[in-house]
Amino acid sequence: MNKINKLLQKKHKSKIVCLTAYSKNIASILDDHCDLVLVGDSLGSVLYNYKSTRQVSLASMIEHSKSVKLGIKKSLMVVDMPHNTYRSSKEALKNAKLIISKTKCDAVKLEGGKKITPIIETLVKNKIHVMGHLGVLPQSAKSFRFKGKKITERNKILNDAKLLESAGVFSIVLECVETSLAKLITQKINIPTIGIGASNNCDGQVLVTDDLIGLNPINFRFVKKYSNLRSEIKKAVSKYSKDVRNKKFPSKKQSY
């Protein structure tokens, strides 16, 4: 059974665990605990301090993904297709093939609903596995606010989810989608939903690893910090600095 089928079988049975990775070392840790590892274009803000994911290049995504792949043995690996790399079916197919050939990932992720369904259909027909993404769409959002408060917006997102499923995506990320809407979508479609700020009604959850471990100093409502790695690194660097200045490092033990 391939990784995609294993993920599909988890629908309504067991929760899907997903986290982001941008490098081999982090990926190798996540691989023991995650069903799915996402190389997200969130690396733009997390690593490069970009104001928007729209600044992330295809080349950058490929290089980080190549590193992540070195740490993956069992997890499903999905790579975000960056902004302006899937404006047409032809462009999407060319770039998706490039990502897969260079990184050996299992699938790509695209943001959007009805507008990109023909593009997704083209990729799927060419045997490329695609993950969808609805709700807040960082590549096109002008402002950050949760989705699903208004009836028209709820209906559109639900309809988009059904269209994405029909187009052939194997799962859909729901970002910052109102709780009852996330539950409804999860019930109405036969593929897994992966939530981020979309309640525990989804089939699985994803977070940015740097946020989860407290390395990225941000505070979003949907982020739970399971560790304060930033503080631990500060302590280690402080001790190292003092040892060097006080001529305690390197000792004979660390010398040749």
Residues belonging to the active site? 175
Asked whether the beta carbons of 89 and 115 are under 8 A apart, the reply is no
What is the longest distance spanned by two Cα atoms in the chain? 71
Q: What is the DSSP letter of 135?
A: E
Length of the chain: 256
Asked whether the beta carbons of 191 and 163 are under 8 A apart, the reply is no
Distance CA 120, CA 200 (A): 27
Residue 92: name the closest of 80, 104, 102, 103 by CA: 80
Q: Which residues pair with 132 in a beta bridge?
A: 172
Which residues have a Cβ under 8 Å from the Cβ of 230 and sit 6 or more positions away? 214, 215, 217
Strands (E), the chain: 16-20, 36-39, 76-80, 107-109, 130-135, 171-175, 193-196, 204-207
Residue 41: name the closest of 54, 28, 30 by CA: 54
